[in-house]
Amino acid sequence: MTISLVFLAVLMLVFGGWLFSHSINVRPWEAQSEATPAEGITNRASHLPLYFTAARVGLVVFLAVVTAVFALTISAYLMRMEMGPDWRPLPTPGLLWLNTASLVLGSVALQRAWAAAKKGNDQVLRRCLMLGGGLTIAFILGQGVVWWQLHDAGYYLAGNPANAFFFLMTALHALHLLGGLVAWGRTLRKVQRGASAVEVRASVELCALYWHFLLLVWAILFALVLST
C-alpha cells in the first residue's frame, strides 16, 4: 500500500505542479483573450483561474483515477513477487527498448503539435499530430510483437505469476493508449477537415498531456520489469 501511495503522490505532484506553474504564469488579460466566452463565464462564476477549464480539470480527475489503478497493480505485483518461490521473472525482450523509444518520440511529437497549435502553425500541427499518433500505434503494435515473442518462447500467461502480471500491466497500459488514440483520431479528423490550429488547440493540449502521463507510467513499469 505504501508503494501505491508513493506512486500516486509522485504522479499527481508532477501534473498538479505543472498545472499550478502554468496558472501562476498566465497574465489575466492574456488568459481572457484566449478563453472562449463560455469558458470565461463559467470560470468567473466559479471564481477559478481562467486556465482551469472544465476539460483540464476533468483530465486531472481522470488521471488521478488511472494513477490509482496502476498504483494498486504495482503494489499487487510487488506483494505477489515476495509471496513464494513460484515467481520466475521473464527475460526482457530487446524490442521493449525500441518500443519505449517510439513512445518517447510520440510524446515529443505531440508536444510539438501543441506548440504549433499555440502559434497557429497549421502545417506543423498536422504533421506532428500525425507523427505522434503513428509512433504510438507503432508502440502498441510493438508490444503485441513482444507478447507474441514471449508466448512463442513458452512464457504463457498462466505459466507463472510473473508472466501474468507482465501481460496484465503492459496490456492495461496499451488499453489506455488506445483510448487516447480515440481522442487523437477525432482531433486529427477535425484538422484534416480544415479546422484551424486555434479551434483544436484545447484538444491537442489534452492529448499531449495524456501522452506525457502515459509515458511516465510506462517508464515506471519498464523500470519495474527491468529491476525485478
pLDDT tens digit sequence for 192-220: 998 888 889 999 999 999 999 999 999 99
pLDDT of 158:
81
Question: Residues 4, 92: one domain?
Answer: no
**What whole-number distance in Å separates Cα of residue 164 and Cα of residue 80?**
11
**What whole-number distance in Å separates Cα of residue 174 and Cα of residue 139?**
9
Question: Residues 112, 29: one domain?
Answer: no
CATH of the domain at 103: 1.20.120.80
Question: Residues 63, 103: one domain?
Answer: yes
Question: Residues 93, 42: one domain?
Answer: no
Question: Residues 31, 96: one domain?
Answer: no
Question: Residues 127, 173: one domain?
Answer: yes
pLDDT of 155:
85
The count of domains in the chain is 2
Question: Residues 130, 103: one domain?
Answer: yes
Question: Residues 25, 94: one domain?
Answer: no
pLDDT of 14:
60
Residue 161: band (very low, low, confident or very high) from pLDDT cuts 50, 70, 90:
confident
Q: Lowest mean pLDDT: which of 16-25, 68-77, 136-145, 166-175? A: 16-25
Question: Residues 130, 25: one domain?
Answer: no
Range of the domain at 24: 1-47
Would you list the DSSP string of the chain? -HHHHHHHHHHHHHHHHHHHHHHHH--HHHHHHHS-HHHHHHHHHHT--TT--HHHHHHHHHHHHHHHHHHHHHHHHHHHHTS-TT--PPP--THHHHHHHHHHHHHHHHHHHHHHHHHT-HHHHHHHHHHHHHHHHHHHHHHHHHHHHHHHTT--TTT-HHHHHHHHHHHHHHHHHHHHHHHHHHHHHHHHTT--HHHHHHHHHHHHHHHHHHHHHHHHHHHHHHH-
- For the entire predicted model, the pTM comes to 0.78
Residue 226 has pLDDT above 80, yes or no: yes
Residue 163: band (very low, low, confident or very high) from pLDDT cuts 50, 70, 90:
confident
Question: Residues 80, 133: one domain?
Answer: yes
Question: Residues 37, 133: one domain?
Answer: no
Residue 40 has pLDDT above 80, yes or no: no
Question: Residues 31, 72: one domain?
Answer: no
Residue 145: band (very low, low, confident or very high) from pLDDT cuts 50, 70, 90:
very high
Residue 159: band (very low, low, confident or very high) from pLDDT cuts 50, 70, 90:
confident
Give tens-digit pLDDT for 85-141.
Answer: 778 888 888 899 999 999 999 999 999 999 999 998 989 999 999 999 999 999 999
